[in-house]
A and B are shown apart, each in its own frame.
Chain A
Amino acid sequence: MRYEAPTTTEGAVALLAAANGTAKVLAGGTDLIVQMRSGRLAPDLVVDLKRIPALTSIAAENGGYRVGAAKACMELVEHEAFVRDCPGITDAVKLIGSIQVKGRASMGGNLCNASPAADSTPALIAARVTARVVGPNGSRDVPVQEIAIGPGKTSLGKGEILESFLLPKRAARSGDAYLRFTPRTEMDIAVVSAAVNLTLDEGGVCRDACVSLGAVAERALVVPEAAAALIGTKVDEVALKALAAAASAACRPIDDKRGTKAYRTKVAGVLARRAAEIALNRAKGTN
């Protein structure tokens, strides 16, 4: 195996584009190194992204944030303005692994590893985040939900890397939240998860919402029916029940070592509802 640590995105892209055999990019390595050690993966080339400023920085942009795809989760969690402005994504990022894992793991790696259970993905989707992809043919901006398309599969082409995320400016009276279920309090992979992002009008009526579920399908789902259950309501009991039902109805999970179909389907509704309640309080500024 060859290890390279370029200092520009273009350098990384060039290395990848020119590679023969399996080439992998390395962000925090918390998925990649585990997979290599278990023998599931034996890349010929590993391109470390952590020496590229564009991939490891965070900056304000258009009232939102541009976050480097390889930026370590701990750095995000310690970024006060980010934490204040992006509570739902922060919820998710905080849940990824241990402090040690977060010291290295990135949202880009979380997304590109393309596990249906990735924690930050539903939160990024619900927050309507755009990903900037750079490749041999230049760069393109894509909605986050179009990146991970199946277990371990992304829509990135050869030589393409995810450079950064654009977290858009949040409208007034908006709130978002992410919840997952795991048997342990920490150090666990989501059995099922839900992210809810909503915006209220001055009268407290929900005018916009996005709901995303994790670990209930081959990829994180966007559930418009669940969002529709909230829009036009004051996010009251009736709406929350409808939201839970719509969330459960959208699930098409599998039985695996981490949970059963029935369990995931039911708890998806429970979590969507609980996340909506938190998001509502955040939108109202009561939290």
Chain B
Amino acid sequence: MAKHHVTTTLNGSPVEYLCEPHHTLLDVLRDDLNLTGTKEGCGSGDCGACSVMLDGRLVCACLTFAAECNGRTIETIEGMANGTKLHPLQQKFLEHAALQCGICTPGMLISAKALLEKKPDPTEEEVRYWLAGNLCRCTGYNKIVEAVLDAAAELRRA
């Protein structure tokens, strides 16, 4: 079967790739484009480690066909910092020790950023429900929630 030729805007740059029709965006990001910051924890939508933004929407890269992304905009963890300047969420995750092993961190950050773009002043409960699709087995979520709330406060000040 012929491969699909897909043109996207990936982290702000034009990126083209060829993909098998059954390969997911996660496969292409990790195996073909070497963007391994997006993680695979389950491949079935359950863990959120593969969270990316597709046309401004938070989705699981593992549940998106790469072929679907033609003409679309994709944002991954690799595009989150502005050059050498970390996004406030990244900075707060570090300061709050909101990562232990760190495998959930890229997905958490993408997900949290999507939240704060919609809701700059979330409650703890809103943060918890929004992040429910991002599993973390290490932290018990305390410090992640604290970091997100703190980053939200900082972004509101900015």
- Measuring CB to CB, which residues of chain A are less than 8 angstroms from any residue of chain B? 1-3, 5, 26, 28-30, 33-34, 36-38, 46, 48, 50, 72, 74, 97-101, 103-104, 185-187
CA distance in complex: A38, B63 (Å): 12
B133 within 8 A of A: yes
- Report whether B21 and A100 are in contact in the complex, using a CB–CB cutoff of 8 Å: no
Q: Which residue of A lies closest to B135 (CB)?
A: A187
Inter-chain CA distance A26–B67, complex, in Å, is: 12
Within the assembled complex, what's the spacing in Å between the Cα atoms of A137 and B24? 34
Tell me, in angstroms, the Cα distance from A101 to B45 when the chains sit together.
Answer: 7
Name the residue of chain A whose CB is nearest to the CB of B110: A100
Contacts of A74 in B (CB 8 A): 57-58
Q: Which residues of B contact A48 (CB under 8 A)?
A: 65, 68
Contacts of A3 in B (CB 8 A): 4, 21-22, 65, 67-68
Interchain CA distance A97-B63 in the complex, whole Å: 12
Asked if B57 contacts A72 (CB within 8 A), the reply is yes
Bound complex: CA of A48 vs CA of B24, how far in Å? 14
CB pair B44 A101 closer than 8 Å: no
- Would you list 14 pairs from A and B whose C-beta atoms are within 8 A, ordered by A residue? A33-B62, A33-B64, A33-B65, A34-B44, A34-B45, A72-B57, A97-B45, A97-B133, A99-B114, A100-B58, A100-B60, A101-B45, A104-B59, A185-B129
User: In the complex, what's the smallest C-beta–C-beta distance from B145 to chain A, in angstroms?
Assistant: 14
Q: In the complex the two chains form, is A186's CB within 8 Å of B132's CB? A: yes
Partner of A103, one of B4, B58, B115: B58
Q: Determine whether the beta carbon of B1 is less than 8 Å from that of A100.
A: no
B154 to chain A: which residues have CB within 8 Å?
Answer: none
Question: Do A29 and B63 touch across chains, with their CB atoms under 8 A apart?
Answer: yes
Once the chains are docked, how many angstroms separate the CA of A103 from the CA of B54? 9
A1→B43 CA distance, assembly (Å): 19
Minimum C-beta distance from B20 to chain A (A):
8
Bound Cα distance A30, B132 (Å): 17
Q: Which residue of chain B has the shortest Cβ distance to A94 in the bound complex?
A: B129
Interface size on B, residues (CB 8 A): 31
The interface bits of chain B over 129-144 (1 if a CB of A lies within 8 angstroms of the residue's CB, else 0) are: 1101110000000000
A100: chain B residues at CB < 8 Å are: 45, 48, 51, 58-60, 63, 111, 133
In the complex, the answer to whether B111 meets A30 with C-beta atoms within 8 Å is: no
Residues of A within 8 A of B16 (CB): none
User: Which one, A1, A26, A38, A103, contacts B59 given CB within 8 A?
Assistant: A103
Q: Are A5 and B68 in contact (CB under 8 A)?
A: yes
B78 at the A/B interface (Cβ < 8 Å)?
no
Instruction: Please tell me if B46 contacts chain A, counting CB pairs below 8 Å.
Output: yes
A97–B24 alpha-carbon span in the complex (Å): 19
For residue B158, give the distance in angstroms from its CB to the closest CB of chain A.
24
A101 to B129, CA, bound (A): 13
5 pairs of A and B residues whose beta carbons are closest in the complex: A98-B133, A186-B132, A3-B21, A103-B59, A103-B57
Chain B residues within an 8 Å CB radius of A186 = 129, 132-133
How far, in angstroms, from A126 to B65 measured CA to CA in the complex?
Answer: 34
From A29, A30, A97, A103, contact of B65 by CB (8 A): A29
A186 to B47: give the CA distance in the assembly, Å: 12
The reply to whether B24 and A33 form a contact with Cβ atoms under 8 Å apart is: yes
**Closest B residue, CB atoms, query A46:** B21
Q: Which residue on chain A has the smallest CB distance to residue B51?
A: A100
B45 CB contacts on chain A under 8 angstroms: 30, 33-34, 97-98, 100-101
Within the complex, the shortest CB–CB distance from B53 to chain A, in Å, comes to 9
Within the assembled complex, what's the spacing in Å between the Cα atoms of A130 and B103? 44
Contacts of B63 in A (CB 8 A): 28-30, 33-34, 100-101, 104
Q: Which residues of B contact A104 (CB under 8 A)?
A: 57, 59-60, 63-64
